[in-house]
Amino acid sequence: MKARAILVAMAVLGLTVVGRADFELHGLEELTVNTLHNTGTLYDQSNVEVVTGGFVTDLRAHDSSSVTMTDGYASFLFGLDDATVSISGGAIGLLSASHNSAVNIYGGVVTDFSGSLTGGSLNVFGGGLSNLLAGNSSIIDIYGGEMLTFSGIEHSTTTFHGQDFVLGDGLFLDGDEVLGTGALSGKWFDGTAWSVNIQQNDATAAILAIPEPATLSLLAMGGLAVMRRRRK
């Protein structure tokens, strides 16, 4: 809640973070960020953890580096190359995954996510995302969390893993693929209800609604029972 309040306050007041210092990490260097910074860049297998009090205007992870965010704020956070970004708290203005990087969201607040360029991936288990964009060949798997709007463009693939899917006006299913635009809702595996407005759904993009394994098993058992009855 504290991170959300900071994000809203900065947006309303039009404030920008003025960094006290920049940092650049190489090799196996590690850094805990708990103060203000303008820019931060990671290379090789370095690691940075953003905690309470940590503010970074522009944070970029290259190579096989990693970013762990448990609190604080980042105006722009970019996962590049083969980097890994893990978010369990805090707030982010713009989050992006590209060039085979992987982003995992367990909590926190993200205003905009952009999956673009080549092979960026996103796994969402929790948290709140206002605007989610799947672009180019990005791969997104969603298991939880709250979302307001979603757009699937170019050759991206996005999978909603849940149950009790409901398609609003303008949406229909072709197998597991969601076609059209409109409101998609359902429940996550833990029973939490969710809803997202699909604003764009390119013909080249894939949006999938995959039911939980238990549901698939029941459907398979039902189909098998029908086949047995027919044979009799």
C-alpha distances in Å from residue 162, one per residue of 74, 114, 143: 30, 22, 7
Tens-digit pLDDT profile for residues 126-165: 999 999 988 888 899 999 999 999 999 999 999 999 999 9
Q: What is the mean pLDDT of residues 107-130?
A: 85
Judge contact between 184 and 204, C-beta under 8 A.
no
Helix (H) or strand (E) holding 56: strand 55-61
Give Cβ neighbours of residue 11 (< 8 Å, ≥ 6 apart): none
pLDDT of residue 8: 44
Least confident of 11-20, 30-39, 47-56, 96-105: 11-20
Q: pTM for this one?
A: 0.82
Whether the predicted pLDDT of 115 surpasses 70: no
Confidence category of residue 16, pLDDT binned at 50, 70, 90: very low
Reduced to 3 states, what is the DSSP secondary structure of residue 12?
A: helix
Judge contact between 212 and 192, C-beta under 8 A.
no
Phi (first) and psi of residue 215, to 5 degrees:
-65, -40
Q: What is the mean pLDDT of residues 167-190?
A: 95
pLDDT of residue 118: 57
pLDDT of residue 5: 46
Judge contact between 23 and 32, C-beta under 8 A.
no
CA–CA separation, 76 vs 93, rounded Å?
A: 6
Delimit the domains of the chain by residue range. 2-231
Tens-digit pLDDT profile for residues 52-83: 999 999 999 999 999 999 999 999 999 999 99
